Amino acid sequence: VYLVGAGPGAADLITLRGWALIATADIAVVDALADPALWDGLPIEIVPAGKRAGDHGMAQDDIHAALIALARAGKAVVRLKGGDPFVLGRGSEEALALAAAGVPCVVVPGVSAAFAAPALAGIPLTHRGVADAFTVLSAHLADGGPALPPFDPRATLVVLMGVANRALWLPALAGLGYPADLPVAWIEWAGRPHQRVLRTTVAHAAVAADAFALKSPAVAVVGAVAGLPPCGVEAP
């Protein structure tokens, strides 16, 4: 089983290695966020396993069982996951379940939306003199709110799946020392034709998300880098 990162959205942001595996596999078990253009025209069977709001897709244990059964049936299996398999995506659980079943598994890294979404919106996560570190976390946690780091003026905070769960993390920032006027950027549908970028502040990030009816998938960038001029794209 090849655990392949599909990249942040657009089909041509997968790696050459990942694409070559899709082109030669018998079957792919795919997340909802993966772009169907990735397998368009290829002689490959597709098993949708993805979760989206309101639709939980396959349970994690069922995904493990399916991967193990397909591999034991002699199929060349690709498990295609959005972004990178080992960044907040439960890929390591799948790898360990396969290992426990004696099924060989190889990981192919992908471009994570954690930094590609900001990059596609013209926002670097680090910039000399502004930020030289960044923290990535998901606001979508089963056991309550995320472990937000205390404010560090030299570090950027990237929050994945932060729109639907904005009440879980945005109100906590002030108590952790984040200034009310610190820049925040929301990036919705990064890299897709309908990408939207919303530049706001800690104080106004929730109201702005409401006002523009932001939806998942969206990435939030919190920190001074979100206030730089757009880097490497035309200004929206």
Residue 133 CB contacts under 8 Å (≥ 6 apart), including other chains? 126, 152, 154, 155, 156
Residue 128 or 194: which CB sits closer to its own copies? 128
Residues in 110-169 at the binding interface with its own copies, rule: CB under 8 A: 110-112, 115-116, 118-120, 122-128, 132-138, 141, 146-147, 149-150, 152, 154-155
Residue 88 or 203: which CB sits closer to its own copies? 88
For residue 48, the minimal CB distance to its own copies (Å) is 22
Instruction: Select from 12-20, 65-73, 170-178, 199-207 the region that touches its own copies (CB under 8 A).
Output: 12-20
- How many other C-beta atoms lie within 10 A of the C-beta of residue 85? 26
108-129 burial by CB neighbour count: b if 16+ within 10 A, else e? bbbbbbbbbbbbbbbbbbeeee
Told to judge if 31 belongs to the known catalytic residues of this protein, a careful annotator would answer: yes
Dist. CA 118–CA 75, nearest whole Å: 37
For residue 149, the minimal CB distance to its own copies (Å) is 6
Residue 57 or 208: which CB sits closer to its own copies? 57
Q: Report CA-CA distances (Å) from 50 to 96, 230, 235.
A: 19, 33, 33
Q: Among 26, 51, 75, 152, which one carries the catalytic annotation? A: 51
Residue 48 or 230: which CB sits closer to its own copies? 230
How many residues of this chain interact with its own copies, rule: CB under 8 A? 72
Q: According to CB under 8 A, which one of 53, 99, 176, 180 is a site residue for its own copies?
A: 99
For residue 135, the minimal CB distance to its own copies (Å) is 4
Greatest CA separation for the chain: 57
Q: Contact between 231 and its own copies (CB under 8 A)?
A: yes
Q: Which tokens belong to 179?
A: 């200034």
Q: Contact between 13 and its own copies (CB under 8 A)?
A: yes
Instruction: Select from 4-12, 44-52, 168-176, 203-211 the region that touches its own copies (CB under 8 A).
Output: 4-12
Q: Contact between 195 and its own copies (CB under 8 A)?
A: no
Nearest to 117 by CA among 13, 3, 4: 13
Dist. CA 195–CA 91, nearest whole Å: 26
Residues in 55-94 at the binding interface with its own copies, rule: CB under 8 A: 84-93
Q: What are phi and psi of 68, to 5 degrees?
A: -65, -45
For residue 58, the minimal CB distance to its own copies (Å) is 16
For residue 46, list its beta bridge partners.
28
Contact 110, 31 (CB under 8 A): no
Active-site positions read 31, 51
